[in-house]
Amino acid sequence: MQTEDYQQLGMPPLPGVYRFIGANDTVLYVGKAKNLKNRVGSYFGERQNRLAKTKAMVKAAVKIEYTIVESEQDALFLESNLIKKYQPKYNVLLKDGKSYPYIAIQKERFPRVFITRQPEKERSTLFGPYVSTQKVELLMDLFKQLFPLRTCIHALTETNITQKKFKVCLEYHIKNCLGACVGLESEADYMEKITQITNVLKGQFGAVSRSLKKEMMAHAEKLEFEKAQQVKERLKLFEDYQSKSTIVSTTIVDADVFAIAGDEKTAFVHFLKVVNGAVIHSFNLELAKQIEEETDDSLLERAIPYLRQKFDSQSKEFILSTEAHFADKSVLITVPKIGDKRKLVELAAKNAKFQLLQHQKQAALKTGQPAPAERILLTLQKDLRMKHIPLHIECFDNSNLQGTNPVSSCVVFINGKPAKREYRHFNIKTVEGPNDFASMEEVVMRRYKRRLAEAAPLPQLIIIDGGKGQLSAAMKSLTALDLHEKVTVIGIAKQLEEIFFPLDSIPLYIDKKSESLKLIQQCRNEAHRFAITFHRDQRSKNFITSELTDIQGIGDKLTQKLLTHFGSAERVKQASEADLEMVIGKAATQKMMAWKLTLL
C-alpha cells in the first residue's frame, strides 16, 4: 500500500481498531490506537517501516479498514477479539486466546464472590470484563475487608450445613468468614453484604455510600476515629474500580447490530457481529440509493440479507438503529432506547456517520468543490472584500466590573476552528477606571508589538468586539505599528450585528443566515467567554486577598482558611482568640489579635 492511498482514507483522530487487509480480503494485521490518524500515519511517515516485518506487511496490504470505538479500553477489547478470530499473520501477541477476568457471584445459598476467566452465565451473575487484573484483585481485597464472606468451595444445602466439616472449615477460614453456614451470622446479614457488593459492581454507589457512612458515624460516636477513617478511605477506593466496555457485554449473547447513515445519493450501513457477548467483526457497506426518496428502513432491508450471507451469520436477534421489516418472523428485532444494546447501536451509528462524512469529503475533492470550512472562509473573504482568505483570525474583547479588575482576551481561529492553545488573556496595566477604548488600544499594541518582535505570523483578519470607538482605538495601535494596511480589521456591534470598517461610517450588514456572519459571531462569543472567565478569576483572587492579607504574617493560605471557616472578613474580626487559634494556630492568632487592636 502506498502513502498516497493512505492519505485518501482520512483517518479520524479518535480511538479505534485498524486492520491491514491483503489480497483475497485476508486480515494481515490488527492494531489498536488511542488516535487512529496518528497511529496509522506512523506507518507512512518519515520514520516508516524500520522493521523488515512491518515493511513487508505494509507492502502486502491493499487496503486499511478501521472501526471507531468509545475509548482506548474498548479498542483493546476489540483488538483482542479480532486477533483471536482472524489469527493475523503479522500479529505476534494475543493469539493465545487469553481471556479477561470477571467477578462472579455464584447463584447458591450463601453466595461466593470470586474472580474467573471462564464465565458461566447460567451458574453466576457476572461483572466485567476488566482490563486490569490488579484492579480486580484490589477490589476483591476491599470486599474481604468490608464485607467478609465465606471462601470455602462447598455447595451449602439444608442437609450438609450442620456437618462437622463446616465447623472445621469455619475454624480454618475464621479471618475471612463469620460462620453464616453454622449460624454464627444470620443469613439476612450475609445476603445484605451480597447486595452491597452487587451495588458496587453495578456502579450504584448511593446505597453503598449510605451504608458505609452509617458505619463510619457509628465508629465516630464511639470515638473510634481510626476505624471511621479506615472506612472513609476504603469508600474512596471504589470511585474508579470498574472497566465497563461497550465491546464486551454479559447481557447480550449473540446478535447482529446494524446502523445506517445516508444523504440524498448514498448510505452507509455499519455491521457489528456479536458472539457470546463480544464484538468479533465490524464492516462498512456502501449503498447507492436507487431513488432519492428511498428510506433508511428500506435500505436496511436490502443490506441485512447481504451482510448476513457474507459473514455467514445465524444470529436470531437484530439490533437496529431504525425500524425495519423482514419476512423471517423467527428473528427478534430490537430498536433499543437504553442499556448495552443502545450503546452498541450508537457505536455502529458513529462509524456509519463518519464513513458518510469521509465519502462526502472525497466526493467534494473529486468535483473540485471546497470543503465546508474552506467554503465558509471563501464566503467571508468575499463578504469583507479581503485580498486573502482569512485562514488566521484573531478576535479581542474587554471585561471589567465598573472599572475594577479590567482584563482583555484574544482568541485565535485557524482554518475556521478555535486554536485554544493560541488564546491569550491580558491584565490591563496602563488604564484606570472603566475605559474600554484605552484598554483596547493597550492590548492590541501589546499583542502585535510582541508578534513583530518574535517574527510570528500575523492574522489575515482582526475582529474587535465593539463599535466604532473600540475599532478606532485598535487602529491607533495598528497604525503606530505600521500594520493598518497589512491586515483587515473590523468591529462588530452586538445589538444589530453591524460590521464596521476603519474610516467608514456606514456599517456593513451581512445576511443573518450567512455562514460567514456565524463565524464572526462565533469568534466574538468565544472572545467574550474567555474574557469574562478570566475577569471572574481575577475578581475572585482579589476578593480573597482582602484586608486580611494586609496583616503582616497573614498570607493567602491563612486568609483562605479564615474565610472558609468564618465565612467573611467581618466574622473574622468578631471571632474570639480561642476560635482563631483553632483555625490558624497560636503564632498567627497573636498577629491577628494585634491587628484587631489597631481597629479599635
186-241: pLDDT as tens digits: 888 888 888 878 877 765 656 666 777 788 888 888 888 888 887 777 666 554 44
pLDDT at 12: 82
Do 513 and 382 belong together in one domain?
Answer: yes
State the Cα–Cα distance between residues 323 and 370, nearest whole angstrom. 35
Number of domains in the chain: 5
Other C-beta atoms closer than 10 Å to the C-beta of 142 total 17
Which of 247 and 49 is assigned the larger pLDDT? 247
Q: Is the pLDDT of residue 164 over 50?
A: no
Do 417 and 513 belong together in one domain?
Answer: yes
User: What one-character-per-residue DSSP string does 120-184 give?
Assistant: -TTTEEEE---S-HHHHHHHHHHHHHHS------PPP-TTTTTSHHHHHHHHHTTTT---GGGTS
Determine, yes or no, domain membership for 97: no
User: What one-character-per-residue DSSP string does 495-557 give?
Assistant: TTTEEE-TT--SPB---TT-HHHHHHHHHHHHHHHHHHHHHHHHHHHHHHSSGGGGSTT--HH
Of 90-94, 274-278, 425-429, give the lowest mean pLDDT range: 90-94
C-alpha grid cell for residue 50? 524500520
- pLDDT mean over 539-566: 70
Q: Phi and psi at residue 404, in whole multiples of 5°?
A: -90, 150
Of 158-167, 326-335, 535-544, 566-575, give the lowest mean pLDDT range: 158-167
Do 416 and 554 belong together in one domain?
Answer: no
Determine, yes or no, domain membership for 461: yes
Do 388 and 453 belong together in one domain?
Answer: yes
Q: Is the pLDDT of residue 542 over 70?
A: no
Q: Is the pLDDT of residue 1 over 50?
A: yes
Q: Is the pLDDT of residue 242 over 50?
A: no
Q: Which of 40, 57, 86 is the last residue of a domain?
A: 86
Q: Is the pLDDT of residue 520 over 60?
A: yes
Determine, yes or no, domain membership for 370: no
CATH code assigned at 10:
3.40.1440.10
Which of 22 and 96 is assigned the larger pLDDT? 22
Do 536 and 549 belong together in one domain?
Answer: no
Other C-beta atoms closer than 10 Å to the C-beta of 282 total 24
Do 135 and 64 belong together in one domain?
Answer: no
Per the rule left: phi > 0, alpha: psi between -120 and 50, beta: everything else, 435 is: beta
Which of 550 and 415 is assigned the larger pLDDT? 415
Q: What percent of the chain has pLDDT over 70?
A: 80
Q: Which of 333, 364, 395 is the last residue of a domain?
A: 364
Do 440 and 463 belong together in one domain?
Answer: yes
Which of the 8 DSSP states describes residue 248?
B
C-alpha grid cell for residue 447? 499583542
Per-residue b or e along 175-213, where b marks 16 or more CB atoms closer than 10 Å to that residue's CB: eebbbbbbeebeeeebeebbebbbbbbeeeeeebeebbe
Do 164 and 283 belong together in one domain?
Answer: no
pLDDT by residue (tens digit) across 463-512?
999 888 999 999 999 999 999 888 999 999 877 889 999 988 888 988 88
Determine, yes or no, domain membership for 39: yes
C-alpha grid cell for residue 316? 436470531
* CA gyration radius, the chain: 33
Which of 120 and 519 is assigned the larger pLDDT? 519
Determine, yes or no, domain membership for 343: yes
Do 383 and 306 belong together in one domain?
Answer: no
Do 532 and 572 belong together in one domain?
Answer: no
pLDDT at 519: 93
State the Cα–Cα distance between residues 237 and 232, nearest whole angstrom. 9
pLDDT at 501: 93
Determine, yes or no, domain membership for 243: no
Q: Which of 335, 364, 393 is the last residue of a domain?
A: 364
pLDDT band at 333 (very low <50, low <70, confident <90, very high): confident
Other C-beta atoms closer than 10 Å to the C-beta of 474 total 27
Q: Is the pLDDT of residue 172 over 50?
A: no
Do 527 and 553 belong together in one domain?
Answer: no
Determine, yes or no, domain membership for 369: no
CATH code assigned at 557:
1.10.150.20
Highest mean pLDDT among 153-162, 310-319, 561-570, 590-599: 310-319
State the Cα–Cα distance between residues 147 and 483, nearest whole angstrom. 72
Cβ contact 353:284 at 8 Å: no
State the Cα–Cα distance between residues 127 and 489, nearest whole angstrom. 60
- pLDDT mean over 326-343: 83
CATH code assigned at 427:
3.30.420.340
pLDDT at 213: 77
Q: Is the pLDDT of residue 523 over 80?
A: yes
Which of 402 and 315 is assigned the larger pLDDT? 315
Mention every residue, 6+ apart, whose C-beta is less than 8 A from residue 157.
109
Per the rule left: phi > 0, alpha: psi between -120 and 50, beta: everything else, 41 is: alpha
Which of 251 and 169 is assigned the larger pLDDT? 251
Determine, yes or no, domain membership for 560: yes
The domain in which residue 212 lies consists of 102-236
Q: Strand ranges (DSSP E) for 417-497? A: 417-418, 424-427, 461-465, 488-493
Q: Is the pLDDT of residue 257 over 70?
A: yes
Of 28-37, 156-165, 412-421, give the lowest mean pLDDT range: 156-165
pLDDT band at 166 (very low <50, low <70, confident <90, very high): low
pLDDT band at 444 (very low <50, low <70, confident <90, very high): very high
Pick the closest to residue 397 from 491, 461, 476 (CA basis): 491
Do 519 and 550 belong together in one domain?
Answer: no
pLDDT at 492: 92
Cβ contact 410:447 at 8 Å: yes
